[in-house]
Amino acid sequence: MAKKEKEAPQTEDELINENEAVENKNSEEENETEKLQKELDAAKEAHMRTLAEYDNFRKRSIKEKEAIAGDSKAMALTELLPVLDNFERAAMNAEADFDSYRKGVEMTFGSFMEVLRKLGVEQFGEPGEQFDPNIHNAVMHCEDESLEENVITDVFSKGYKLGDRVLRHAMVKVAN
């Protein structure tokens, strides 16, 4: 069997070349690490900016909703102020004869209903309508052979809705 030859000791130039190769490899790894760290830092920065933008958007949305609610109330109340003025005039003119006082109240009621119409409020709940539990509240029932079943016979308070939203259910009496 042949004996393995021992490796000859490396020359100084070979050692220097080997050290340079190791240093180059370490330098490349450090450069790669720095590059990855910069990418990570950029991603963190972008994420933090996105979070800050979302938080600002959320706060701005809340403020806008509050402003819209306030503006809506102000608009509705501004429409109602002339009706209030008419009621005030009627109260100050209580000594007028009954017919003129009644006419003033009817005109005030008409102007109030006009304001509700402008605001999109609809009135419902009339005798003879078909009972609908989604918009009517039956507080009484009666037995009447001359009427169909579930027909409104009396209205105690009319209902109001704004679009599809019921503001107040009509309180009615229904035939069984």
pTM value is 0.61
Residue 21's nearest CA partner among 8, 33, 13, 7 is 13
Domain of 105, in residue numbers? 17-119
Q: Where are the beta strands (DSSP E) in 80-142?
A: 121-124, 136-142
Mark whether 23 and 100 lie in a shared domain: yes
Domain at 152, CATH number:
2.30.22.10
Count of domains for the chain: 2
Q: What SS3 class is residue 43?
A: helix
Rounded distance, CA 90 to CA 111, Å?
14
Q: pLDDT tens across 20-77, in order?
A: 777 777 778 888 899 999 999 999 999 999 999 999 999 999 999 999 999 999 999 9
Mark whether 105 and 126 lie in a shared domain: no
Q: Which helix (H) or strand (E) holds 176?
A: none
pLDDT exceeds 70 at position 9 = no
